[in-house]
A and B are shown apart, each in its own frame.
Chain A
């Protein structure tokens, strides 16, 4: 079983839809969870950063962490064509310094 699993998609939605992106993980020691957005041929951009469990909201983006289920989510409200990108989840434990990445989900928002 891979440490971090992420459905690669592609996921296609109409403009204005609510998007749900998810990752599951196997290592219960992971404490720090991140979501990155990557446009084609660009470096990943940090979107959300959460520590341990709970929710975090930033504008149209909400990150959720459920440590009991080893499941994290990123919700995008009122999706826009500019949200079309690959979304990568990443996580690490307290002691380690290396991030473990999911393979990314490709999202396409059509106008």
Chain B
């Protein structure tokens, strides 16, 4: 089955801790993206990568970091510098950068 997987589905952390969210795709897509979704806010772009070992900041990159060591994987680290980390995090991928396909999401709660 081709698709995008995100793990875990739910994640709970204490304030001050870094946490890494996993995103894997087996669609052979070149580009991968991370979005954050908050109630009433729509989706906001955090980081994106068009090719292995290269990535660019999106609109709200502060407090986040990413790596792209493999084509299939694009993990997102939410650092303690992120002021409001509690949100629904969505990973997406695309072949040519046009239509994007999303994973099931990770709901992060920081207390």
Contacts and interface: CB of A to CB of B under 8 A. Distances in A.
B9 to A, nearest CB: 9
Give the residue among B31, B97, B103 with the most A Cβ atoms within 10 A: B97
Nearest to B102: A43
A98 B98 contact: no
A46 B98 contact: no
B105 A98 contact: no
B21 interface: no
Interface string B70-103: 0000000000000000001010000001111111
Give the residue among B40, B58, B102, B107 with the most A Cβ atoms within 10 A: B102
Nearest to A98: B45
B43 A45 contact: no
Contacts of A103: 40-42
Interface residues of A, number: 21
A43 B31 contact: no
Interface string A48-92: 010000000000000000000000000000000000000010101
Contacts of B90: 43-44
A107 interface: no
By secondary structure, the B interface counts as strand
A15 to B, nearest CB: 27
Nearest to A45: B102
Nearest to A44: B102
A32 B96 CA distance: 12
B104 interface: yes
Contact of A99 (B88, B100, B103): B100
Given A92-B98, A97-B48, A97-B97, A42 B104 contact: yes
B98 A49 contact: yes
23 contacts: A32-B99, A34-B99, A34-B100, A41-B88, A41-B107, A42-B105, A43-B90, A43-B104, A43-B105, A44-B43, A46-B101, A88-B42, A90-B43, A90-B100, A97-B48, A97-B50, A98-B33, A98-B45, A98-B58, A98-B59, A99-B43, A99-B45, A99-B100
